[in-house]
Amino acid sequence: MAETARKSGDESTPGLLRGLSGKVLVLTVLFVMLGEVLIFLPAIANFRIQWLKGRIAQAEIAALAAEAAPDQILSSDLRSEILKGAGVLVVSLSKDQKRQLILRSDGDQMIEASYDLRETMWLPQIADAGAAMLATGPRIIGVVDKPPNMSGDLIEIALDEEPLRQALRGYGLNILLISVGLSLLVGLVVFVALNRVLVRPMQRLTLNMVAFGRNPEDASRIIGPSARRDEIGIAERELHAMQGELLSMLQQKNRLAALGLAVSKVSHDLRNMLSSAQLISDRLSGVEDPTVQRFAPKLIASLDRAIGFLTQTLKFGRAQEPPPMREKVALKALVDEVIENAVLRTSSRIVLYNNVAQSIVADADRDQLNRVLTNLLRNAIQAIETAQAEDPGAREGAVTVTARRDGSVVAIEIRDNGPGIPERIRPRLFEPFQSAARSGGTGLGLAIAAELVRAHGGEISLATTGPEGTSFVVTLPDTVAELRTGRRGERRPADA
């Protein structure tokens, strides 16, 4: 127990990284970094292209300036000046497939890599930018593009890559710092927002579930639902309802358990009391008085039944009925017995009729059938008596028991001319504790009767009820004789 409590304690507070909060943090960081890469790479690629295009434009202007010189002849010094101003080493302009002009500074230049700016594929551009940034040592590169001022079809330049590298590094560092700062800010805001909107409410739900699970009988641990209209709000409200239901179920179970204990105690001591009563009544049967002789055996039989019943209840720990011990029961005699017992307690203004035919035999547990009929008869008598007590002018009461056999089923009807069953208790008439309408009733009688009849494979039903009276019908099927298993088409020996 302590072990499981500790374990669930660990589970309710997962480590920072295993919890929702940590997961949200890790995910935010990952996505921010991804966003970072997606911003940074295209930015430097674009910067490099723009930078080179700037050089191309300057080189073109330089070429045009050289073209404007008289006879297109420039001194070596001036040429170097112009090229230096444009930041390139060589410029060549072509028109109509022919090279028109070449400006070249002094000295040999070996072009190590050349790029065509007319190609606009992103991935190679990103790769080229990366290479330019990371390369070590001076490099001379060639660049080809369409002249921006339309002075020809094609312009080719050669230049030292070092200035480009410096500019790229400076720009890259700048954009890295800015985007890291921005991403961190956005990430932080996203993290805080997710935490507030999702993680915290989820943690509240979880902690509440764990706390409630530890002690579901504490009503103060039921979650207070918020007014949220999203899924979390729904979950809170559903959890609230579920916990309430569970609590009331537990309370009912506790009540029933307490009741069970009380019943056991009552049964126990009542059995002892009845046992002494039994001893005394045993002595009574020795008395010669004819009235005593008539009633003593009934008293003894009743006490025997009561003691047996209490013993059963104690043995099973609850009032579960033992399976019926079925036998052939002469119904008329049984009804006589039931009526005779009931008569003792019945006012003189009620007549009880036994209209059961002599020949009817039921296949049932004698004691249990006795209890079923006694309960039904007592209900009828009590109903009539209550009505008569409220209105002394009420008609004479009558309760009639009839029975008939249809094939293998015996149907017994108990009909009274009482006031009928109140409408509001009819739907749950056969449920324990649900239907007691009269004061002093527990609402168990019909539930017990129904259970006993069901154990016989039969049924008890309210046939009619109203101001003219009430009638209950009990149907009891005979036990089915066990069928012999034989092959289809096989003849039974008797048929042969």
Ligand X SMILES: Nc1ncnc2c1ncn2[C@@H]1O[C@H](COP(=O)(O)OP(=O)(O)OP(=O)(O)O)[C@@H](O)[C@H]1O
- Residues forming the site for Mg ion (CB under 5 A): 379, 445
Residue 159, CB-side half-sphere exposure with 13 Å CA sphere: 26
User: C-alpha dihedral over 70, 71, 76, 78, to 10 degrees?
Assistant: 20
Examine residue 435 and tell whether it contacts ligand X (CB under 6 A).
yes
**Residue 352 is a binding residue for ligand X (CB under 6 A):** no
For position 380 contacting ligand X by CB under 6 A, the verdict is: yes
Q: Does 436 bind ligand X (CB under 6 A)?
A: yes
Which of 142, 152, 324, 418 touches ligand X by CB under 6 A?
A: 418
Query: Token digits for 488?
Result: 């289809």
Phi, psi of 473 (to 5 degrees): -120, 130
Stretch that binds ligand X, among 120-128, 129-137, 240-248, 431-439 (CB under 6 A): 431-439
Among 445, 456, 474, 478, binds ligand X (CB under 6 A): 445
Judged by CB under 6 A, how many residues of this single chain contact ligand X? Answer: 21
Q: Distance between CA 328 and CA 273 in Å, rounded?
A: 33
Q: Which of the choices ligand X, Mg ion, none does residue 243 contact, using the CB cut-off of 5 to 8 A by kind? A: none
CB of 414 vs ligand X, minimal distance in Å: 8
Q: What are the tokens at 168?
A: 């790229």
Position 33 contacts ligand X (CB under 6 A): no
DSSP sequence for 325-370: --EEEEHHHHHHHHHHHHHTTS-TTEEEEE---TT-EEEE-HHHHH
326: phi then psi, degrees, rounded to nearest 5: -80, 145
Q: Which one among 7, 404, 438, 454 touches ligand X, defined by CB under 6 A?
A: 438
The site partner of 306 among Mg ion, ligand X, none (C-beta below 5 to 8 Å per kind) is none
60 binds ligand X (CB under 6 A): no
Question: How many helices and strands in the chain, by DSSP H and E?
Answer: 11, 12
The residues, any chain, with a CB within 8 Å of residue 346's CB and separated by 6 or more, are 352, 381, 385
The neighbouring-strand residues paired with 363 are: 328
* 383 makes contact with ligand X (CB under 6 A): yes
- CB of 281 or CB of 379, closer to ligand X: 379
The region of 70-78, 116-124, 250-258, 415-423 touching ligand X under the rule CB under 6 A is 415-423
Is position 388 an interface residue for ligand X (rule: CB under 6 A)?
Answer: no
Question: What b/e readout covers 410-427, taking b as 16+ CB neighbours within 10 angstroms?
Answer: bbbbbbbbbbbbeeeeee
- For ligand X, the binding residue among 44, 377, 421, 474 (CB under 6 A) is 421
Residue 303 touches ligand X, criterion: CB under 6 A: no
Residues 6+ apart with CB under 8 A from 217: 247, 250, 251, 254
Residue in 22, 42, 260, 443 binding ligand X, rule: CB under 6 A? 443
Which of ligand X, Mg ion, none has residue 322 at its interface (CB below 5 to 8 Å by kind)?
A: none
The residue ranges that bind ligand X (CB under 6 A) are 375, 379-380, 383, 416, 418, 420-421, 425, 435-438, 441-447, 470
